[in-house]
Amino acid sequence: MSEERNIEIKTRQLGVTFKDNEGKDVAALTGVNLEIYKGEFITLLGPSGCGKTTLLRCIADLQKPSEGDVHIQGMTPKEVRLQKKFGFVFQQPVLFDWRTVKKNVELPMEIMGYSKGERSDRAMEMLEMVGLKDFANHYPNQLSGGMQQRANIARAFGLDPDILLMDEPFSALDEFTKEKLHEDLVRIWKATNKTILFVTHNIQEGVFLSDRVCVLSPHPGRLSAIVDIDIERPRPVEVKESTHFNELVTKVRNSFEGGSV
124 falls within a domain: no
pLDDT at 1 over 50: no
Domains held by the chain: number: 1
Residue 43's Cβ-side half-sphere holds a number of Cα atoms within 13 Å equal to 25
Residue 37 domain-assigned (yes or no): yes
Q: Could you give phi then psi for residue 100, rounded to 5 degrees?
A: -65, 170
Question: What is the residue range of 68's domain?
Answer: 1-85+201-260
Is the separation of the CB atoms in 258 and 209 below 8 Å? no
pLDDT digits (tens, 9 = 90+) for 49-87: 899 999 999 999 999 999 999 999 999 999 999 999 999
The CATH number that applies at residue 246 is 3.40.50
- CA dist 92 → 89, 112, 122, 149 (Å): 8, 24, 23, 8
Indicate the pTM of the whole model. 0.92
The answer to whether position 138 is within a domain reads: no
pLDDT, averaged across the chain:
93
Burial of 259 (0-12, 13-18, 19+ CB in 10 A): exposed
- Confirm whether 223 is domain-assigned: yes
| 70 located within any domain | yes
Give domain status of residue 97, yes or no.
no
- Cβ 223 vs Cβ 261: under 8 Å: yes
Residue 52 lies in a domain: yes
